[in-house]
């Protein structure tokens, strides 16, 4: 097996960052309140960015900040001061997509490492080498590349390469989309994507308003641009062998449960890859990826061009097999009581699964619960209510409690 790549996780909020780090990420990427492409996500204030850097560096890990908008003239006014702030906050790198932003950053913060975002459409080795010669430390490869193309890029360049391995796929080219602007006035390239590609579409002829014709098989219409989610975990050995330096998980707007589960699954899989033993994706890892909210999975472009099988035509809904019901804040080994922050309705008699950052997965029935005042309770219906649960086994702080929900899941 080749060199050890970084496992890079999304961080939409401080809590998601904490979970990403404790569940095994080597680095996290996040956005500030301006100049990123997630205007409606849980972005970080300047003070939170400083705290995020301190938290990650204290754990020996890294923080990258997105500055990957395509700015108009008015956006350039405050950008220099923001870049100076990021350098002063000691972030490990910024992600940029626009050549003007790259040039400006070189002028005002020449010592701040820069990563080139996937939105820069990095699909060939000449482009990657050009960014390298301009001074980029890393290039994030476009999602539209096959493993053979990735290997060829690696052969022709020395710059660090980052590759998306898991998460939502976009119908647009490397994330550059105009649909949202046309339909809603919200510019996806300046952070305002309305996810128009997930909407339901049908064909209408101009002279026959109100008459809708199916585009694909379904008489009710079709979600023709609704891609399945990317999942390369079963082929992580081939990903590592391609020579990339960082494995990127998409999902800054996803839940705490998503971040923890996906990061740990890939952490276990990556460690197995790097151990030098024959790699085969374990069912336990794949099971974790089915428990969080997701669309059906696909390998994207990794093995060649996509087909109709990589789209979901009947629905834009998500699926998952588990509900996140509580987060362990602390555990007392003498009383065997876990302090749990409620995240969904919990009641006695339910069987829960305990998912831990390092410890083994286990199940138990909820037999005893108390509220914060020490009164016995049979249910915890209040959002983020602090309760105490008697545990059958010791549990780690930041463990996730979840319960099964019926579902049909598809793994490809």
pLDDT in tens, 71-103: 889 989 999 999 999 999 999 999 999 999 999
Residue 299 half-sphere exposure toward CB, CA atoms < 13 A: 14
Among 48-57, 197-206, 248-257, 378-387, name the most confident range: 48-57
What's the CA dihedral at 59, 49, 292, 398 to 10 degrees? 40
Q: Identify the weakest region by mean pLDDT among 138-142, 168-172, 357-361.
A: 168-172
- 131-144: burial string, b at 16+ Cβ within 10 Å, e else: bbeeebebbbbbbb
CA distance 54 to 60: 10
* pLDDT, tens digit (0-9, with 9 covering 90-100), for 266-297: 999 999 999 987 888 788 898 888 888 666 78
Q: Identify the weakest region by mean pLDDT among 25-29, 209-213, 319-323, 371-375.
A: 209-213
Contact call for residues 384 and 343 (beta carbons, < 8 A): yes
- Reference 10, options 255, 353, 178; nearest CA is 255
CB atoms within 10 A of CB 271: 12
Is the pLDDT confidence value at 259 over 90? Answer: yes
Q: What is the pLDDT of residue 43?
A: 84
Continuous segment of H or E residues that includes residue 100:
helix 99-108
- Let me know how long the chain is: 412
Domains contained in the chain, CATH given: 6-174+229-289 (3.20.20.70), 322-404 (2.40.30.10)
Of all residues in the chain, the percent with pLDDT exceeding 70 is 79
Q: What is the pLDDT of residue 222?
A: 47
Q: What is the pLDDT of residue 299?
A: 82
CB atoms within 10 A of CB 190: 17
Model confidence at 178, pLDDT cuts 50, 70, 90, reads low
* pLDDT, tens digit (0-9, with 9 covering 90-100), for 37-76: 555 556 899 999 999 999 999 999 999 999 998 888 998 9
Q: What is the pLDDT of residue 213?
A: 60
Model confidence at 35, pLDDT cuts 50, 70, 90, reads confident
CA distance 291 to 67: 32
Q: What is the pLDDT of residue 269?
A: 94
Is the pLDDT confidence value at 250 over 80? Answer: yes
* pLDDT, tens digit (0-9, with 9 covering 90-100), for 22-34: 999 999 999 998 8
CA distance 93 to 86: 9
Q: What is the pLDDT of residue 19?
A: 97
Q: What is the pLDDT of residue 407?
A: 53
Is the pLDDT confidence value at 170 over 80? Answer: no
Q: What is the pLDDT of residue 412?
A: 38
Q: Calculate the average pLDDT of the chain.
A: 86
Question: Rounded to 5 degrees, what are φ and ψ at 10?
Answer: -80, 150
Is the pLDDT confidence value at 200 over 70? Answer: no
Q: What is the pLDDT of residue 36?
A: 66
Q: What is the pTM of this model?
A: 0.83
């Amino acid at each position: 097996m080749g060199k050890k790549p970084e496992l890079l996780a999304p961080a939409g909020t401080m809590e998601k960052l904490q979970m990403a780090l404790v569940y095994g990420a080597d680095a996290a990427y996040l956005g500030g309140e301006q100049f990123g492409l997630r205007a409606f996500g849980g972005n970080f204030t300047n003070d939170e960015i400083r705290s995020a850097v301190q938290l990650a560096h204290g754990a020996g890990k890294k923080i990258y900040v997105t500055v990957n908008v395509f700015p108009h003239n008015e956006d350039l006014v405050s950008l220099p001061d923001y870049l100076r702030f990021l350098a002063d906050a000691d972030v490990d790198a910024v992600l940029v997509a626009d050549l003007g932003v790259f040039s400006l950053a070189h002028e005002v913060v020449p010592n701040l490492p820069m990563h080139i975002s996937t939105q820069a459409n990095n699909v060939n080795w000449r482009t990657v080498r050009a960014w390298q010669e301009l001074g980029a430390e890393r290039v994030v490869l476009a999602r539209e590349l096959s493993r053979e193309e990735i290997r060829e890029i690696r052969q022709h360049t020395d710059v660090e390469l980052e590759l998306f391995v898991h998460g939502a796929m976009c119908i647009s080219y490397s994330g550059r989309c105009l649909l949202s602007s046309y339909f809603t006035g919200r510019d996806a390239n300046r952070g305002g994507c309305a996810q128009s590609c997930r909407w339901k579409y049908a064909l209408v002829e101009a002279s026959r308003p109100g008459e809708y014709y199916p585009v694909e098989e379904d008489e009710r219409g079709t979600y023709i641009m609704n891609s399945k989610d990317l999942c390369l975990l079963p082929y992580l050995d081939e990903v590592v062998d391609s020579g990339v330096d960082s494995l990127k998980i998409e999902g800054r707007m996803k839940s705490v449960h998503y971040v923890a589960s996906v990061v740990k699954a890939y952490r276990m899989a990556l460690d197995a890859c790097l151990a030098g033993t024959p790699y085969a994706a374990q069912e336990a890892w794949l099971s974790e990826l089915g428990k969080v909210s997701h669309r059906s999975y696909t390998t994207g472009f990794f093995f060649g061009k996509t087909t109709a099988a990589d789209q979901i035509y009947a629905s834009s809904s998500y699926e998952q097999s588990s509900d996140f019901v509580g987060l362990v804040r602390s555990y007392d080994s003498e009383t065997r009581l876990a302090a749990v922050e409620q995240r969904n309705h919990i009641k006695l008699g339910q069987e829960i699964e305990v998912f831990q950052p390092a410890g083994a997965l286990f199940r138990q029935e909820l037999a005893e619960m108390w509220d914060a005042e020490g009164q016995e309770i049979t249910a915890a219906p209040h959002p983020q209510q602090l309760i105490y649960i008697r545990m059958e086994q010791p549990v780690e702080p930041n463990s996730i409690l979840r319960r099964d929900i019926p579902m049909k899941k598809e793994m490809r």
